[in-house]
Structure 1
Amino acid sequence: MSTVTIYHNPKCSTSRNALEMIRASGEEPRIVEYLKNPPSRDELKAIAKATGEPLRALVRTKQAEYLEQGLDNPALTDDQLIDAMLATPVLINRPIVVTALGARLGRPLEKVLEVLPSASRQVASGA
């Protein structure tokens, strides 16, 4: 079983590049196509916590639905944002990579390296 999970959109070049980066590190990730199988409310909360960023960082602001649904309102609670993300999964930012070392939104893409176990071993060994 893989220790790396990527919440992936195969139509997104950044997401495809993150998948390629993970595989190049020697890992074969569990791939979750979140548009078909969105994470649960609890998973979204856990992912946000593991990133160390506010949950709002997981919302894709470039989607038309973001403004259409008024999600730019800073008064919205995390639960309201999650409700929107669950109802409209395209609002989930991507790619998200989750490992035992934490979770990172792959924007910029290099952030993924921070949580890849093999990349961490290379840094620790000075490779």
Structure 2
Amino acid sequence: MVATIYHNPACGTSRNTLAMIRHAGIEPTIIEYLRCPPSRERLVDLISGAGLTVRQAIRQKDTPYLERGLDDPMLSDSALLEAMLAEPILINRPFVQTSAGIRLCRPSERVLDLLPPVTRPFSKEDGMMVIDQGGQRIF
């Protein structure tokens, strides 16, 4: 299976998502979107492919979201996309794409819907178990 992750190595959710992809035996294409932001077209594809609105895909926490007035409900999707492209930290993460689809993997366990069945135990970096000894998801 081929997988692509739009990754921020400073983000625990993104690191856990990447670890789960690798745990499934897949070495994904890793795009550090803060260094190499997606094009407008690709960003629109990721958002729509994940079944989200542009507003649902914008990151508010630890970003200039409020400073830029992006909480204004009258702002168009186009204006929000422009802000996300100008300041990629506003793009929520991690987006993952496989042949099974696209997801915004928040929480990180959402990535399991895109991967082949994983039967070996897996715990996140904080120790929270996601897949138990019997191969069952715990969440």
- For the superposition of Structure 1 and Structure 2, which TM-score range results when normalised by the shorter chain? 0.7 to 0.9
Aligned to 1:83: 82
Contact 2:63 2:90 in 1 (8 A): no
Unaligned runs of 5+ in 2: 119-135
Aligned to 2:103: 104
Unaligned runs of 5+ in 1: 121-126
Aligned to 1:119: 117
Aligned to 1:62: 61
Fraction of identical pairs, as percent: 52
Aligned to 1:93: 92
TM-score normalised over the length of structure 2 = 0.80
Quick one: distance in 1 between partners of 2:69 and 2:89?
A: 15
Kindly state the Cα deviation for residue 64 of structure 1 after the two structures are TM-superposed: 3.7
How many residues were matched structurally?
Answer: 119
Structure 1 runs (4+) deviating above 4 angstroms are none
Q: CA RMSD in A?
A: 1.6
Q: 3-state DSSP class of the match of 1:67? A: coil
> Higher Cα Rg: structure 1 or 2?
2
Quick one: distance in 1 between partners of 2:100 and 2:56?
A: 19
TM-score normalised over the length of structure 1 = 0.87
Aligned to 1:40: 39
Kindly state the Cα deviation for residue 105 of structure 1 after the two structures are TM-superposed: 1.1
